[in-house]
Amino acid sequence: MIQAFGLTSNARKEHPPAVDDVSFEARAGSVTALLGAPGAGKTTALRLMLELQQGRGITYFRGRPLHRIAHPSREVGVLLGDVPGHPARSVRGHLRMLCAAAGVPARRADEVLEAVGLVSLRDERLGSLARGMDRRLGLACAVLSDPHTLVLDEPADTLSAREGRWLYGMLRAHAAQGGTVLFSTAEPKEAARSADRVVTLEQGRLVADQEAGDFARTRLRSRVAVRTPHAARLAALLTKEARTAHRSVEVVREEGNRLSVYGSTCADVGETAFRHDILVHQLADEIGDMGPGAGTSLRGEPETGDEPRVPAPSSPTVTASPLTDVPFAEQPSPPISPTLPASEEPEPAAQAHPPYEAQATAVSPLRETAVDPVVQPTATGPPATPGPRAPSPARSRLVPLVDPEEVTVPSARGPRPSRAATLDALSPLPPPISVRSAPSPLRPLRYELRRATGIGTGFLTGAAVLVVSALTALLLARIGHTPQPRLLAAWPRELPLPPAALGAGLLGAFAFGDEFRHPALAVDRGTVPRRMGLLLAKLLVSAATALLLGFLTVGCDAEVLYLVYGRELAQVPADWLSASASWTGLVVGCAWAGVLAAGIFRSTTAGLAAVVAVPILVVPLVHKALEGPAVRAAAGFPLRMRKVFLLQWPFGGERYLSAAARVVAQPVGGALTLSLTALLCAYLLTTLRSRVR
């Protein structure tokens, strides 16, 4: 069950808020449609409910707000826009990656592919899917973790009638199993045919909340569309003839020379125009439209389908009543009762949060004047005097006035307000909505492995590095005067980094860069989750990839040199231990620098630029610092360490520690160590700052 209270978006410059005080509910076991024309605020309302956009209000999913749910993807399945994913990733690979993020078994991907009919397209790339297949994949992503609630934004947009029927059949099947389904649409006929309840928005405000049958009977009406240069004259004649014949006909003046006639036919309108010599440019029946102004009365106030429309006397909309010769606009309006009608009383299922009902009944003067001019009855005493407009049932929904954490659910003996709610004054506004970062993958290492191996970018990058490195090694051997370690690494003195180090840095930058380009984890949030588990997984996978790439590069270079020039140039260097430590530290350090820099600057290019900046900018500074007269060499460092700790290094550990110390003491090693330390501190600082916000 979904319960939305007081959804209000932040006001824009010189524009009213896109969503203003919208409250409704979507019940479990049924399909609810959020209906409205383009620009009515449907998408904004959904984003406020899902905490994707800042504003005010609160939404409960089975009694809990989204930020209080440990694993939101297991409770709410979301489809907003197109499926976010790398276009080169396969359908099955994308779902398996999301399985690791949601913490469900990988076999669940094959199950949902069979359920949505994409088994034959499981090896297709995301970028090659047609619109209908993309909608099926979006639905598969939404139901992947078997959530109770589905929230979809215009899921059948641009689909054919057959594909639309299939999609709504799937939503109906989910609701039949006890789930909650909420989808937005701009088509009234689609909402009446596919939903059990229709919530109508117009210009960001709630104008109707009805059962589908009531919606189809009261708002989904047929009309006659007329376009004539004598619109005012024809409207008056049609109204006069309707009153004479005691027929209920409603004539609505549209923009320009257009009329919408409700309760009549093309034949009757055409005969009236012919008898009075009125030129008609258009005369057509239109079915399945709510009609212009159906959600807003002539005074500009919202109305519901359960209330009769009461136009002003000077309104261009005239309704003829079959019971009297007096136009309906001139009849006295019925007395306004400040209480809710019996049909609009909240059901027991809607009373899951009685503190809000208790708070909403005690209306403060500030609430009446600053927020909503609708006057509600007080908790005790006679009803208050009606305000300037009648409270419609849709606008009389109860809105939370305080933070839910400041109130306690009353027990069976009676309400027990918390101390904070008793001492503090009631706020006239619903609680603020803050955008929260996307949840981290529940299985980060498995997610990162499937993300890195699901596309061919890493394999192509590795192959390009091997080819360039082998050609560079042959060229250096041809020129000569290159030391053996640099020859095997294909690292000329003119280049800041060898091809293997650049390739490792690029692959590390892809680890976070692809997350921002194709945010599968952070759908429409604009941020990637900054969790230590995800960072450690990316560092571990990038380190393993860099080690593999460095080992293959040295092996390929040695093999090529042996085949072309013989054994002399392919010999192992005498100081192979320190050379191996330096080579390992270089490729792994470049990979980690790419990961951290791309995570900080949110760009693959920035990550690679940070890797190249280490030897170009940082190495000269470290080199100058090490060449100073006050710098001493750390000779005998392993021996002194052993004496301090009184331990015997096993398996000749002094050699490894000495090799590592020599690597760090080199300008490149020291620069890389300093750069990694600075990048890691910057990453942690930005992470803590985002959490504080």
Contact 61, 149 (CB under 8 A): yes
Write down the pLDDT at residue 218: 73
Residue 406 vs residue 288, higher pLDDT: 288
Sheet holding 250-253, edge to edge: 282-289, 221-227, 258-262, 250-253, 318-319
* Segment among 37-46, 161-170, 490-499, 663-672 with least mean pLDDT: 663-672
Amino acid at 88: A
Q: What's residue 545's pLDDT?
A: 97
pLDDT value of position 500: 95
Q: What's the confidence (pLDDT) of residue 94?
A: 95
Is the pLDDT assigned to residue 422 strictly greater than 60?
A: no
Residues 6+ away with beta carbon under 8 Å from 574: none
Question: What average pLDDT score do residues 446-458 get?
Answer: 94
pLDDT of residue 636: 59
β-bridge mates for residue 483, sequence order: none
pLDDT band of residue 314 (cuts 50, 70, 90) is very low
CB 12 within 8 A of CB 18: yes
Q: Where are the alpha helices (DSSP H) in 177-297?
A: 188-194, 212-218, 231-244, 266-275
Q: Does 296 score more than 60 pLDDT?
A: no
Evaluate if residue 332 carries a pLDDT over 50.
no
The Cα–Cα gap between 536 and 279 comes to 76
Residue 174 has pLDDT above 70, yes or no: yes
Q: Which of 452-466, 482-496, 556-570 has the highest mean pLDDT?
A: 452-466
**Is the pLDDT confidence value at 333 over 60?**
no
Q: Report pLDDT for 338.
A: 33
Please give the pLDDT value at position 520.
Answer: 83
pLDDT given for residue 118 in this prediction: 94
Q: What are the start-end ranges of the H helices in 329-456?
A: 354-361, 365-366, 419-423, 444-453
Reported as a pLDDT band with limits 50, 70 and 90, residue 4 is very high
The answer to whether the pTM exceeds 0.85 is no
Q: In the chain, pLDDT over 90 holds for what percent of residues?
A: 47
Tokens 């060229």 -> residue: 475
Which residues sit opposite 664 in a β-bridge? none
Which pLDDT does position 663 carry in this prediction? 62
| pLDDT value at residue 391 | 35
pLDDT at position 347 over 80: no
Dist CA 51 CA 35 (whole Å): 20
The percentage of the chain sitting over the pLDDT mark of 70, rounded to a whole number, equals 72
Residue 368: pLDDT over 50: no
Do β-strands 250-253 and 258-262 pair in parallel, antiparallel, or remain unpaired? antiparallel
* Torsion-angle region of 465 (φ positive above 0: left; ψ -120 to 50: alpha; else: beta): alpha
Strand partners, 319: 250
Helix, strand or coil for residue 226?
strand
Predicted confidence at residue 659, as pLDDT, reads 60
pLDDT tens sequence across 601-614 = 989 999 999 999 99
Alpha-carbon dihedral sign for residues 533, 534, 538, 544: positive
Highest mean pLDDT among 194-203, 312-321, 483-492: 194-203
Residue located via tokens 């919408």: 260
Write out pLDDT tens, residues 120-158.
999 999 999 998 999 999 999 999 999 999 999 999 988
pLDDT at position 438 is 77
79 pLDDT exceeds 50? yes
Please report where in the chains the tokens 């299985």 appear, as a residue.
443
Higher per-residue confidence, 372 vs 561: 561
Estimate the share of the chain in helix, then strand, then coil, as percent rounded to the nearest 5. Answer: 50, 15, 40
Tokens of 1: 């069950």
Q: Quick check: helix, strand or coil at residue 511?
A: helix
Higher pLDDT residue, 250 or 93?
93
Determine the residue type at 188. Answer: P
Tokens 């708070």 label which residue?
Answer: 359
pLDDT tens string 622-664: 777 767 655 555 555 555 655 555 455 555 555 666 666 666 6
Strand partners, 282: 227
The residues, ordered by sequence, that sit 6+ positions from 1 with a Cβ below 8 Å of its Cβ are 25, 26, 27, 28, 60, 61, 62, 63, 180, 349, 352
Instruction: Report the run of H or E that residue 594 belongs to, with start and end.
Output: helix 576-601
Q: What is the mean pLDDT of the chain?
A: 77
- Give 47-87 as a DSSP string: HHHTT-S-EEEEEEETTEEGGG-S-GGGTEEEEESSPPS-T
Q: State how far the Cα of 46 lies from the Cα of 28, in Å rounded to an integer.
A: 17
pLDDT given for residue 600 in this prediction? 92
